[in-house]
Amino acid sequence: MEYRQLGRSGLKVSTMTMGTMTFGGEGGFANVGNTDVDEARRLIDVCLERGVNLIDTADVYSQGTSEQIVGEAVKGRRDDVLLATKVRMPMGDGPNDAGLSREHIVRGCEDSLRRLGVDHIDLYQVHAWDGVTPLEETLEALDTLVRKGKIRYIGCSNYSAWHLMKALGVSALTETQRFVSQQIHYTLQAREAEYELVPATIDQGLGILVWSPLAGGLLSGKFRRGQDAPETSRHLTEWDEPPVRDREKLYDIVEVAVEIGEAHGVSAAQVSLAWLLAKPGVTSLVVGARNADQLTDNLAAAELELTADEVARLDEVSAPPLLYPYWHQRKTASDRLSPADRTLLG
């Protein structure tokens, strides 16, 4: 297992992160999985044996049950893992039970610590944008929690590039803790992050954690043109993340991944994950699984090296259109591109 530095922090994390959205299986999360404590221990055993050192969860996953299961599963081995969780989503019906206000962040952190059964959270992430609460309030609350020792590092998730840059600017002006990472959706099937989020990461020195790097199983190799989707697919339920806007292009991507996988004797899932790990700015992939076999296969992608030609084939079949102003920049500004610019235009 390779370990990469998380942004400008001194923290090193494994290129694979254990995702726990499947833990609990309550409410709408039953469409994703229903892993109990015993199975969670087995899955975490598999991760630790293969060098994974980061476990990612969120308060909203099964309304806190995921955090509780993680806490039970890591008892006696807390020092072997880094714990990441998130705050922002609704955790009740009250007017202050969601968002990134000081009230919700501080209460959310205390609740997460209690459910996890730990005295600190290693990476505390804001789960989504809150356009109502001033960023100064959000960042000051996070800064206070860091200074009190309740969290070690902070990150954001699902921000747009201007949200991210505004937050970094406010941190600089107010001398409060700075985000060290962003957790985003980025796959062969959905490469929108390459327009601005990836360049911003390179330019500003953040780390990237990728959620649902197999696009909810769409890139597992089980979704093929002319074949029925697996009965266990979450996309046959009300779960619609990520959306599929071009089904024929998805099938084309999967066919190339399957072909490359067959050449290596590995799954299309491993190929899709290995492609991501080779992309600029990517620190770690958050992989979940319903069982140990699936998890073992996904983690093996950390050892797969694709050739330059294979990466180029995958790049070509999955390439997003070059939107404005990027096509204009390629045409008129290609003589003076920064390393961040070249992640898209190089």
DSSP secondary structure of 238-297: T---S--S-HHHHHHHHHHHHHHHHHHTS-HHHHHHHHHHTSTTEEEEEE--SSHHHHHH
- Which of 149, 102, 147 minimizes the C-alpha distance to 126? 102
Residue of 61, 124, 153, 159 marked active site = 61
Q: What is the DSSP letter of 23?
A: B
Q: Please give the distance of CA 96 from its chain centroid, rounded to a whole number.
A: 26
Catalytic site residue 195?
no
C-alpha gyration radius of the chain: 20
- Phi, psi angles (nearest 5°) of residue 18: -80, 115
Q: What is the DSSP letter of 196?
A: T
d(CA 145, CA 237): 38
Residues in the chain: 346
Q: Please give the distance of CA 243 from its chain centroid, rounded to a whole number.
A: 16
SS3 178: coil
Tokens of 268: 């299309």
d(CA 304, CA 264): 9
Active-site positions? 61
